[in-house]
């Protein structure tokens, strides 16, 4: 009807979207449902602030050996980019 695909996952592989779905779950639980946004503009600013100040700097991620993304990049970022280029 609207030509919108139901998922970007490959057929038979439920793990393609796992990281994105995990992020959205966290965003909903810790920011969207926990706050009362006045309007769309306020919600956008609040979500951006949450991602920058909490999700990237404070929240520990099991996939990053329980480091924050900022801490992981500061420790391993240069090496990960170099390795992936070869």
Residue 12 falls inside a structural domain:
no
Instruction: Please write the tens of the pLDDT for every residue from 31-60.
Output: 888 777 778 888 888 899 999 999 889 988
Range of the domain at 47: 20-29+40-84
Task: List Cα–Cα distances, 2 to 5, 6, 35, in angstroms.
Answer: 9, 11, 32
The number of distinct structural domains making up the chain is 1
Residue 56 located in a structural domain: yes
What is d(CA 54, CA 48) in angstroms, rounded to the nearest whole number? 10
DSSP letter for 71, please: H
Contacts of residue 7, defined as CB under 8 A and 6 or more positions apart, other chains included, come to: 17
pTM: 0.59
């Amino acid at each position: 009807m609207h030509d919108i695909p139901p998922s970007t996952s490959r057929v038979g592989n439920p793990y393609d979207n796992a990281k994105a779905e995990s992020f959205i779950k966290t965003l909903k639980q810790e920011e969207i449902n926990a706050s009362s946004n006045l309007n769309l503009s306020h919600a956008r600013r609040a979500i951006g602030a949450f991602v920058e100040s909490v999700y990237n700097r404070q929240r520990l991620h099991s996939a990053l050996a329980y480091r924050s993304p900022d801490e992981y990049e500061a420790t391993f970022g240069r090496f990960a980019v170099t390795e992936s280029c070869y």
